[in-house]
Amino acid sequence: MIGITLTTDQIRSAPKEVRQWIEHQVIAGLGLAAETPAPALVQATHLAALSEEEAASVLAQVRGMLPAASLLFEFARPGVAFGEPPVMTYRLIDILNHTKLQNIGQVMTCLEALDNAVTRLRGDPNLRFCGFDNEGHCFIAPETQAAIAALWHEVIASQQRASGAEAVAGLAPAA
């Protein structure tokens, strides 16, 4: 057996096919690839383009499932626009790492909860929150990504307003 050490810069500058091969080797080495095979890409026309209000409704539906609520906000991060019509692309392995879930199966369970919330919200069983490809990527509509980012900013702003009001109330003289 031969081991090779590569720097981050070497990996970044490698051709796309080499980076993909390295990614597959790491996923297989961690035992993540065999747990949940990625389904074929769902056509972009079946992806929900959610408004901020609809994203808030999806959040309300999954609020009791904290990992799914946390995972929803992973899509507030900018993704990579890809395809025509464009979709925002995210790597499942990155989502796994950011959410601190234990395996891709848990990520898929959370994504399924989001899909179910969108189906209930819109009443369309063919509509999906996200789609997948066989390379370990997840796709959402750009409008949905923008709505989730706006919702994230609103949640943070409301928490800051609430903590600011508490601080002011704490400084008020007692009657």
Could you read off the pLDDT of 123-148 as tens digits, one per residue? 998 899 999 888 889 999 999 999 99
In this predicted structure, the answer to whether residue 162 has a pLDDT above a threshold of 60 is yes
20 and 99 inside one domain: no
Q: What is the largest CA-CA distance in the chain?
A: 77
148 and 120 inside one domain: yes
In this predicted structure, the answer to whether residue 38 has a pLDDT above a threshold of 70 is no
115 and 164 inside one domain: yes
Count CB neighbours of 169 within 10 A.
8
- Residue that wins the pLDDT comparison between 1 and 101: 101
160's tokens: 């800051």
82 and 12 inside one domain: no
**DSSP 8-state code for residue 124:** -
Domain assignment present for residue 175? The answer is: no
14 and 95 inside one domain: no
Domain assignment present for residue 137? The answer is: yes
Domain assignment present for residue 114? The answer is: yes
Domain count, the chain: 2
70 and 114 inside one domain: yes
What is this structure's pTM?
0.69
Burial class (CB in 10 A: 0-12, 13-18, 19+), 29: exposed
26 and 42 inside one domain: no
In this predicted structure, the answer to whether residue 115 has a pLDDT above a threshold of 80 is yes
Q: What is the pLDDT of residue 34?
A: 47
> For the chain, how big is the Rg over CA atoms in Å?
19
Q: Give yes or no for a contact between 53 and 12, defined as CB atoms under 8 angstroms apart.
A: no
14 and 61 inside one domain: no
Q: In terms of residue numbers, what domain contains 108?
A: 38-170
| Mean pLDDT, range 153-175, rounded to an integer | 72
23 and 82 inside one domain: no
Interatomic CA distance for residues 6 and 10, integer angstroms: 6
131 and 68 inside one domain: yes
57 and 26 inside one domain: no
Q: Residue 111 — φ and ψ, nearest 5°?
A: -65, -35
98 and 24 inside one domain: no
Domain assignment present for residue 68? The answer is: yes
